[in-house]
Amino acid sequence: MGALSNILSEHLKFAPRDSAEGHRAATPLELFFDLVSVIAIAAAAAGLHHAVAEGHAMEGLLRYLLAFFAIWWAWMNYTWFASAYDDDSVAYRLLTMIIMFGALVMAAGQTLLFSELNLTVVIIGYVIMRVGMIAMWLGAARGDAERAKTAKRYAAGIGIAQIFWLVLPLLLAFGLPLALLVVIGVALELAVPAFAERAATTPWHRHHIIERYGLLTIIVLGEALLAGSMAISTATTDGLSLGLIWMAFCGVVITFALWWLYFCKEDHLTSTKLSRALSWGYGHYIVFGAGAAMGAGLAVQVELATHHAHTTQMAGDMAVALPMAAFLLGLWLVRDRHLASGTALLLLPAMAVVCVICAVLPFSMTLLAAAGAVTVWLRNHPASPAHINS
């Protein structure tokens, strides 16, 4: 431990990257970091899946939103820092691995969070991740004199937020409502970048950030593909079930459609203005959270088809339709409302409404798959009035 401290203290100095650097791409360390995020996201999605399947959808959803916020926020903070200051030094690698360990601890705490609303392990893992970020920002303050004030604001703001999370159990013991405390904690966290970046904007790389967000989108949609694979496996091992295979096919079509809609010709983040970067970065909480939640909904559909769920078919249909609608609305929020006009501006919100309607109709999964395919066609077909010209 002493050797680790010496390395960090001697080499904790991160110089700024060139925000106009050519051919900037995700590094092996960033992809390794994403691997632990996959584990945490899968744990949160599994908690939501089991809660919905057991008939506790609203309770499970609220806990999922809290768990996913912690996972997403820690990932987002690391990603934007890496875009600006990743020097691949020994100190940087070690701090990244400390943050990764915190993510694993947080993933391990998901079971207690969903079963008992016990936040202890999740908070411990989260604080480990955030303490690693404090060290990174202090290193940036030493290595980037021009933006030292920004880096110190980040470190101080993150530190204050972590103190709040650590005393949260004590505040609960005094009878303060958990919902209120969570809102305060989330507000503290969200305020840090908005406050810090006003001193001087960090040199994050626009194309690099777009790529990193795209990679996490693929990860969260992977939860839906995993559920589709599970459905096919169940259908072929427990006696051939054409209904289950069709459900899996519809789920995969929906997932492919959402991927297609996200990865279009237009740039997602067309400006480096702080207000635009914040709305785009923050708005992806809806996109990411909805993508992973849809995987949980498809897993519920498998349990319903095999008579292992203790909930209604309507709840199972909603568990797919609502995340799909949220994904479309989130994508409209971060991208299309800035790029589209006329009929195209209304496409994703209108199709989100259609998704919710599909959930209360017969053959819901078939209708949702059709809605996804139609949305892709309207968004991309040159002859369509909803097509957006590049």
Residue-level pLDDT at 269: 87
Average pLDDT, the chain: 92
CA distances (Å), origin 297, targets 194, 248, 260, 304: 34, 12, 20, 11
Q: What is the pLDDT of residue 6?
A: 61
What pLDDT is recorded for position 8? Answer: 52
Domain ranges of the chain: 2-15+26-196, 206-380
User: What value does the mean pLDDT take over residues 291-309?
Assistant: 91
Residue 351 has pLDDT above 90, yes or no: yes
Coil, helix or strand for 143?
helix
More confidently predicted of 202 and 7: 202
Please give the DSSP secondary-structure letter assigned to residue 119.
-
Mean pLDDT for the stretch of residues 226-230? 87
Residue 121 reports pLDDT greater than 60: yes
Position 2 scores a pLDDT of 57
The CATH code of the domain at 206-380 is 1.20.1410
| pLDDT over 60 at 312, yes or no | yes
Q: What percent of the chain has pLDDT over 90?
A: 78
For range 217-245, the mean pLDDT: 84
Residue-wise pLDDT tens digits, 33-90: 999 999 999 999 999 999 999 999 999 999 999 999 999 999 999 999 999 999 999 9
For the segment 359-372, the average pLDDT, to the nearest whole number, is 96
Q: What is the C-alpha separation between 255 and 261, in angstroms, rounded?
A: 10
Q: Is pTM beyond 0.85 here?
A: yes
Q: What is the structure's pLDDT at 101?
A: 96
**Buried-exposed string 103-114: b where 16+ CB fall within 10 A, e elsewhere:** bbbbbbbbeebb
Whether the pLDDT of residue 249 is over 60: the answer is yes
pLDDT at 384 (0 to 100): 80
Please answer whether residues 27 and 86 qualify as being in contact, where contact means their C-beta atoms are separated by less than 8 angstroms.
Answer: yes
What is the rounded distance in angstroms from the CA atom of residue 287 to the CA atom of residue 218?
Answer: 11
What pLDDT, on a 0 to 100 scale, did the predictor assign at position 10?
65
Q: Please compute Rg for the chain using Cα positions.
A: 22
pLDDT in tens, 138-187: 999 999 999 999 999 999 999 999 999 999 999 998 889 999 999 999 99
Other beta carbons within 10 Å of 196: 23
Most distant pair of Cα atoms in the chain: their distance: 66
Which two tokens mark 115? Answer: 């079963």
The model's pLDDT over 231-241, given as tens digits with 9 standing for 90+, comes to 888 877 766 67
Question: Is the CB of residue 16 less than 8 Å from the CB of residue 203?
Answer: yes
- Residues of the chain with pLDDT > 70, as a percent, come to 96
- Predicted pLDDT of residue 301: 92
pLDDT at residue 5 greater than cutoff 60? no
Structure tokens at 360: 């209360």
The continuous run of DSSP H or E covering 380 comes out as: helix 364-380
Q: What pLDDT score does 277 carry?
A: 93
